[in-house]
Amino acid sequence: MPIAEDTVREALKQVIDPELFVNIVDLGLIYEIKIEESDAGKSDVQVEMTMTSPACPAAPQLLGQSKDFVGRLEEVGDVDIRLVMEPPWTPDRMTEDARDQLGIF
């Protein structure tokens, strides 16, 4: 049975944007999570995510940490983190928790 998407999202919540100090899930940077069972009985995970801006200096760090935290899950085999810029990120993608943390009402 493939790993649950919610489990992958919880792992991604451990990745904190170093400029905003909010996790990437609550910021709305995760666009899509695809999960497929592999031959080894594990789940291969592909994540499409974006940055708050195309010139985000933290992009390599956020991508690397995303791959690392998802890859640590026992049920996960291969992890592919893809950076996409379409559609562009906007603040309306943030959760209420992220808005509260940033003082956006």
Domain count of the fold of the chain: 1
Q: Is residue 20 part of a domain?
A: yes
Which CATH number characterizes residue 12's domain?
3.30.300.130
- Report field, pTM of the whole predicted structure over 0.85: yes
pLDDT tens, the chain, 105 aa long = 889 999 999 999 999 999 999 999 999 999 999 999 987 889 999 999 999 999 999 999 999 999 999 999 999 999 999 999 999 999 999 999 999 999 987
Q: Is residue 78 part of a domain?
A: yes
Burial 40-79 (b: 16+ CB within 10 A, else e): eebbbbebbbbbbeeebebbeebbebbbebbeebeebbeb
Q: Is residue 104 part of a domain?
A: no
State the Cα–Cα distance between residues 18 and 60, nearest whole angstrom.
Answer: 12
Owning domain of residue 29: 5-99
